């Protein structure tokens, strides 16, 4: 058997197996008709179309041993071996109705449509065992392959994005506040916000290249400063700016709630024992700026609320900022980015330069993000006043905060009411609940009750809004 024939037979079998797997996934109950139709229709049709191309090539090769590989089949081989389709199948296989954080996603999906009105978005939520949240587009780069098939598939308009979250956190509305950050990545991707910042990033880093060369951390003999700047911007600053955009978006739409949520997550992920006390590991990495720098940025953004923050909230945010400034241990390792022609050694002094450059770009980040968010989606001081009122009038009495004076409450206000109650009213909520254990276990039960009230409120306000607009 010719090696080409052997390979094509094996590839055809692998694609055939994938098609059968997708057919079995079609029997799952998905959180939306759009996702269900995607699995049963477009995804299944595409995989079958790939299989037909390989089958036709195999028939030609069997008929004539020297038959050349067609451009269509070459594209299929490249596409399949990239693992792209396999990763999409893996995502939708985990995205049934039982794994979908429905109440929070009602808000996130609607917010996405309001901020990026020209796109139709479907969020595929995928639970993971790790304490991590992530975003990525999963159904975009298929168009070159789809051109070889039917026009109906090529004209697909829905954009599918994957949003992963920790498996045990589906019903944790407070922790799910971080979804706003992940949505910020989608908004950045859809509107090209970070791309607009890159010329300023080049201009900001270029003056520092001679300093880096003198420190002997640039390995670029005969390479211009512009090429070194391109390495730094593409290898580090682009990722850091993407995080800044997502952070800025999240705090602009959810205010203090996102600040409290991010601080809790960063402390939990980075917390470590240091002798007799706990410290937060503040890791320097090419993919993310340090957590303490991000906290500083969020803190400054909160200070821009027009009427300021209530005293107790201002004190709490100040305490968190101080903790991240004084109880962190900065961690880094000597890492090199680049290639044979140009490389940069990431020692502490290099990170310090890059951090100053990143911080100098934050005003431009804020300006671009502010321009992208519709006025009605910006969280304001008046929203926070209502959130505090709802805590006193409803949450402290174990009543869901979905309605005020006969009108539905905005999801951002509900979420902030939840975080305010979590920070400042937990004892009151515990006292309202009967037969709670003392101490920490009682706190856990009260937080669970709070999340349940928030879940109900988010769903009820969605139904109320739909009823009013009908």
User: Is residue 202 domain-shared with residue 280, that is, in the same domain?
Assistant: yes
Q: Is the pLDDT higher at 283 or at 258?
A: 258
Range in 96-110, 147-161, 184-198 with the lowest mean pLDDT: 147-161
The mean pLDDT value for 10-30 works out to: 93
User: 354 and 244, same structural domain?
Assistant: yes
**Which of the pair, 185 or 149, is modelled with greater confidence?**
185
Position 360 pLDDT exceeds 70: yes
Distance from C-alpha of 107 to C-alpha of 225, rounded to nearest angstrom? 46
CA 71 – CA 76 distance, rounded (Å): 9
Whether residue 222 is predicted with pLDDT greater than 90 in this model: the reply is no
- pTM for the model: 0.90
Given a cut of 50, is residue 146 above it in pLDDT?
A: no
- Given a cut of 50, whether residue 147 has pLDDT beyond it is no
Judge if 204 and 346 occupy the same domain.
yes
Distance from C-alpha of 162 to C-alpha of 123, rounded to nearest angstrom: 6
- Whether residue 362 sits in one domain with residue 223: yes
In the predicted model, what is the mean pLDDT of residues 434-448? 84
Better pLDDT: 27 or 300: 300
pLDDT reported for residue 138? 85
Helices (runs of H) and strands (runs of E) counted in the chain: 21, 11
Q: What is the pLDDT of residue 276?
A: 58
Percent of the chain at pLDDT exceeding 90: 70
**pLDDT the model gives residue 96:** 83
Domain stop point among 145, 167, 184: 184
Q: Please give the structure tokens belonging to residue 419.
A: 């975080």
What is the overall mean pLDDT for the chain?
90
Last residue of a domain, one of 151, 184, 217: 184
Cα 135 from chain centre: 4
d(CA 97, CA 105): 12
Find residue 124's DSSP bridge partners: 162
Whether residue 198 is found in the same domain as residue 178: no
Rounded Cα distance between 58 and 65, Å, is 10
Q: CA 108 to CA 114: how far, in whole Å?
A: 10
Which pLDDT does position 140 carry in this prediction? 56
From CA 431, how far away is CA 397, in angstroms rounded?
10
What are the residues whose beta carbons fall under 8 Å from the beta carbon of 211, sequence distance 6 or more? 353
The reply to whether 209 and 337 lie within a common domain is yes
Look at residue 201 and tell me whether its pLDDT is greater than 60. Answer: yes
Among candidate residues 184, 215, 232, the one where a domain is terminated = 184
- Look at residue 329 and give its three-state secondary structure: strand
Q: Three-state SS for 278?
A: strand
- Cα 8 to chain centroid distance, Å, stands at 38
Burial class (CB in 10 A: 0-12, 13-18, 19+), 175: buried
Residue 104 has pLDDT above 60, yes or no: yes
> Rounded distance, CA 329 to CA 331, Å?
6
pLDDT band, very low/low/confident/very high, at 272 (cuts 50, 70, 90): low
Same domain, 179 and 297: no
| First-to-final CA distance of the chain | 66
Tell me what pLDDT residue 331 has.
Answer: 87
Residue appearing with tokens 């410290």: 279
* Whether residues 323 and 399 fall in one domain: no
For a pLDDT cut of 70, what percent of the chain falls above it? 94
Confidence of residue 415 (pLDDT cuts 50, 70, 90): very high
Report which of residues 457 and 41 the model is more confident about.
Answer: 457
- Number of domains the chain contains: 3
Rounded Cα distance, 271 and 282, in Å? 9
Split at pLDDT 50, 70, 90, the class of 277 is: low
Q: Residue 275: what pLDDT? A: 57
Q: Where does 255-380 have alpha helices with state H?
A: 256-270, 291-302, 311-326, 348-372
pLDDT score, position 423: 96
Which of 104-108, 150-154, 460-464 is predicted least confidently? 150-154
Nearest alpha-carbon partner for 125 in 81, 82, 171, 84: 171
pLDDT of residue 270: 82
Same domain, yes or no: 269 and 359: yes
- Whether residue 350 is found in the same domain as residue 392: no
- Same domain as 387, residue 371: no
Residue 341 CA, chain-centre distance (Å), reads 33
- Same domain assignment for residues 211 and 358: yes
Domain membership of residue 453 as a residue range:
381-469
Total number of residues shown for the chain: 470
Q: Read off φ and ψ for residue 18, nearest 5 degrees.
A: -65, -40
- Phi, psi values for residue 288, rounded to 5°: -140, 145
Q: What is the CA radius of gyration of the chain?
A: 26
316-358 tens-digit pLDDT: 999 999 999 988 888 886 689 998 889 999 999 999 999 999 9
Q: What is the mean pLDDT of residues 191-219?
A: 95
């Amino acid at each position: 058997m010719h090696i080409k024939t052997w390979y094509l037979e094996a590839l055809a079998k692998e694609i055939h197996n994938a098609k059968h797997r997708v057919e079995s996934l079609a029997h799952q109950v998905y959180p939306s008709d759009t996702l269900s139709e995607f699995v049963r229709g477009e995804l299944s049709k595409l995989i079958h179309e790939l299989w037909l191309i390989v089958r036709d090539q195999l028939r030609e090769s069997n008929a004539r041993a020297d038959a050349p590989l067609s451009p269509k089949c070459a594209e299929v081989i490249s596409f399949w071996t990239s693992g792209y389709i396999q990763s999409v199948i893996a995502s939708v296989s985990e995205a049934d109705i039982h794994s979908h954080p429905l109440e929070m996603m009602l808000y996130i999906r609607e917010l996405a449509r309001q901020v990026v009105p020209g796109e139709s978005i479907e969020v595929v939520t995928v639970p993971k065992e790790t304490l991590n949240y992530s975003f990525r587009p999963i159904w975009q780069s298929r168009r070159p392959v789809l051109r070889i098939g039917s026009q109906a598939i090529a004209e697909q308009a829905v954009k599918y994005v994957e949003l992963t979250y920790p498996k045990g956190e589906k019903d944790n509305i407070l922790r799910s506040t971080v979804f706003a950050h992940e949505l910020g990545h989608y908004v950045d991707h859809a509107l090209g916000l970070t791309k607009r910042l890159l010329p300023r990033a080049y201009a900001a880093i270029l003056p520092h290249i001679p300093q880096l060369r003198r420190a002997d951390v640039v390995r670029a003999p005969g390479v211009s400063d512009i090429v070194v700047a391109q390495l730094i911007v593409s290898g580090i600053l682009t990722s850091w700016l993407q995080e800044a955009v997502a952070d800025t978006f999240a705090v602009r739409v959810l205010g203090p709630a996102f600040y409290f949520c991010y601080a809790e997550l960063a402390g939990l992920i980075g917390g470590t024992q240091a002798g007799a006390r706990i410290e937060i590991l503040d890791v320097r990495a090419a993919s993310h700026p340090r957590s303490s720098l991000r906290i500083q940025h969020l803190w400054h953004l909160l200070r821009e609320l027009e009427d300021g923050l209530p005293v107790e909230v201002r004190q709490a945010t100040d305490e968190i900022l101080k903790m991240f400034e004084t109880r962190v241990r900065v961690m880094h390792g000597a890492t090199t980015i680049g290639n044979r022609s140009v490389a940069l050694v990431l020692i502490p002094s290099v990170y310090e330069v890059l951090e100053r450059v990143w911080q100098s770009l934050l005003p431009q980040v804020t300006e671009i993000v502010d321009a992208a968010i519709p006025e009605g989606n910006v969280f304001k001081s008046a929203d926070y006043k209502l959130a505090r009122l709802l805590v006193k009038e409803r949450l402290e009495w174990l009543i869901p905060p979905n309605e005020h004076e006969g009108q539905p409450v905005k999801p951002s206000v509900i979420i902030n009411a939840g975080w305010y109650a979590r920070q400042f009213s937990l004892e009151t909520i515990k006292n309202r609940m009967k037969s709670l254990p003392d101490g920490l276990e009682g706190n856990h039960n009260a937080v669970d009750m709070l999340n349940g009230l928030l879940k109900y409120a988010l769903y009820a306000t969605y139904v109320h809004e739909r009823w009013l607009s009908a």
